[in-house]
Amino acid sequence: MIISSLGEEGLNKLSKMLDNSSCGWRQLANAATEHPQFRCSEKELTSCSIQVLDAAGSPARTFLAWLADRGCSIDFLQHYLRKMDHQEALQFLTTAVSEQIKITVQPQSQQAPLGSKVVLTCRASGPSGLSYQWFKGKEEILHETGSLSELVLCPLGPAHQGHYICRINHGEKCIFSTWAHIRLLHSAGSSPGIPFFYFLLFPHLAAYGAV
């Protein structure tokens, strides 16, 4: 996600935060020198500086346009701003990125029989590099599908019952899906506490009032 995706309004807001001498665009330019493709020449720095001579000019806006032309990503920009400890600009970028993350598929509550396969799906659109993490209640799900857009519960058992939610991450920002409730669907002829297949193996249970 390159910085030009912030749009004209977003870049103008960011420029106002960087048009200062103490923690501004020049310090950002110095921080960016660690990557050769973002290293400015003296002539380029001067062309940014002289923007102050124009009533509507902005050295920071000119420098950001220069970075955008070279494909600077928001991740890189955030990295440089952290080096500068520019908290205001970092917070602005974090919020701007999160507003571009949209959940397109919410997980749905489901009922399913014991031993079946249940798939909870959460999908989001937005900047590249989105990642997913599922939770059951407050507990992070660590098995292999817990960090995918589709959480697979198979074979479904009593321990799987409960409420699930998905967190979508991008860098330091995240958003959450809606909750989905998973419940066991008890077959006819079985009690809530005894799985149906027990009666196939032990039919005499029915004679003792287990059904």
| Domain spanning 102-208: CATH 2.60.40.10 | yes
CB 80 within 8 A of CB 24: no
Strand partners, 134: 166
Q: Which residue has the higher pLDDT, 186 or 120?
A: 120
CATH number for the region 3-99 comes to: 1.10.533.10
CB 168 within 8 A of CB 130: yes
Domain locations in the chain?
A: 3-99, 102-208
Residue 206 pLDDT class (50, 70, 90 cuts):
very low
pTM of the full structure: 0.58
Q: Is the peptide bond before 155 cis (omega within 30 degrees of 0)?
A: yes
Q: How far is CA 156 from CA 73, 132, 147, 200, in A?
A: 43, 22, 19, 19
Q: What percent of the chain has pLDDT over 70?
A: 88
Given a cut of 80, is residue 56 above it in pLDDT? Answer: yes
Segment 1-22 mean pLDDT = 89
State the average pLDDT for the chain.
Answer: 86
